Structure 1
């Protein structure tokens, strides 16, 4: 297979994924947090526990800005820090119960929009999509090294 053509498909696919994510999450965030804070909470929710540097790398935000946003989220009682048991120098971030409740509510809204998007698909089409997600997850997004 032509790897350049495959790469172009990846670019088109990731662009489409970004657009779908925007459509599904539009207007979902709480008025109490900024879009960046919502993105940070979303990342923590699906990847926790995470380090501040992982958040910084993933969000493309400097460490000082990441620390500032985490302080704001901690002050709003949406997340908290804890120290790694094996290395007291390492700090992890996890959602607080309030942060988890906020993200659960957001994910419920997103799920309702997703269900609306797939409502007319057959069981066979849904099975194909599920299989495609599994393949992408194992082979492209989280390949074993």
Structure 2
């Protein structure tokens, strides 16, 4: 396959992923947090523990903005900061029990929407989707 054609398919897929992500997560978050805070919590949920710089990079935010949002999430008792025993300046971020509960509720809403999207898929379709996700995860999204 031509690399340019493969690239164009990839761009189309990524655009679709963003659209579907928006559809699946729309109004799934608690009203007590902002969309930016939800995206940070979502990232922490699937990647914890994470560092503030990893959050900054992944969310395309400046470090001062990341620090400000993490402070707000900490004040809401949604995250915990864990200091590195070797270097107390370095911190890892994890969800608190309250943060875990909030994200469990949000992901339950997203899961219902996902299940609705795949409700008419055959067993073979679901197996293909599963295999395709495994390939994408190991070859492209590692």
Instruction: Tell me the TM-score normalized by structure 2.
Output: 0.97
Q: Is 1:6 aligned with 2:6?
A: yes
Aligned-pair distance for 1:29? 0.8
Unaligned runs of 5+ in 1: none
- Matched residue, 1:63: 63
- Matched residue, 1:32: 32
Off by >6 Å, runs of 4+ in structure 1: none
Unaligned runs of 5+ in 2: none
Alpha-carbon deviations, 1:91-138, whole Å to 9, x = none? 100000000000000000000000000001100000000000000000
**What SS does the corresponding residue of 1:141 show, helix, strand or coil?**
coil
Aligned-pair distance for 1:80? 1.2
Instruction: Tell me the TM-score normalized by structure 1.
Output: 0.95
Q: Give the alignment of 1:1-145 within 5 angstroms.
A: 1-142=1-142
* CA RMSD after TM alignment: 0.8
Higher relative contact order (CA 8 A, sep 6+): 2
Which is further off, 79-88 or 102-111?
79-88
